[in-house]
Amino acid sequence: MSELPYGPRLSAALPSLYRGFLRINRYLAVPAYRAGLGPFFSSPFAGSIMVLRTRGRTSGLMRDAPLGYVIVDGAIYCCAGFGTRTHWYRNILADPHVECLLPDRAVSGIAEEVVDADEWVRGFRALKLALGLVGQATLPGFDRASDEELRERCRGLPLVRVRVTGIAAGPSDPGGLIWLPLTVLSVWALSRLLGRLLRR
């Protein structure tokens, strides 16, 4: 991971961060998104968050990865923040057919690494803004870099464009899990109401 542009302190912490993100994603972020709580994850701090679904290159199973994203000219852009070793990035190289679970909808698409220099700069700058405070903290000072300097310093970060080809099943669709938080909320509200009625 030495080719990544994060500076010495953050670079030294990357292996631990990678393992930590894998656990957080598996046990918190992905289940919450599947349950329809995606809109609560996007914030000025974390930025715009989606779940990218790829097919595992060895297992053949669908794999979910929460990522920052931005939409530019109808395409979804995201970045392999841990470089070319990032699992989801390696998965799309084997099979570019993906699904994106956005906060308000789910789409299917074809994922491609951005190789055009001008498109890379446009997409990367837009994505950095969409990442909120996290983007500012991990890549400080990059707003002032020239296009050439930005490409050179971030050459180890693959930028991926997802060209939307259709709709996909989301949490609110049949088979989705939005019923789970709604059920919990309904049970909580009912128990409060019953408690008040019984105290009268």
Strands of the 75-79 sheet, one edge to the other: 62-68, 49-55, 97-101, 106-113, 159-167, 75-79, 70-72
- What is the homologous superfamily of the domain 8-170 according to CATH? Electron Transport, Fmn-binding Protein; Chain A (2.30.110.10)
153 burial type by CB count under 10 A (0-12 exposed, 13-18 middle, 19+ buried): middle
pTM: 0.74
Domain boundaries, the chain: 8-170
- Cα–Cα distance between 68 and 131 in angstroms, integer? 6
Per-residue pLDDT tens, the chain, 200 aa: give them. Answer: 447 766 666 656 666 766 666 676 676 777 777 777 767 666 666 678 889 999 999 999 999 998 889 999 999 999 998 889 899 999 999 999 999 988 878 899 999 999 999 999 999 999 988 887 766 766 666 777 888 888 888 888 999 999 999 987 666 655 555 656 666 767 777 777 777 777 76
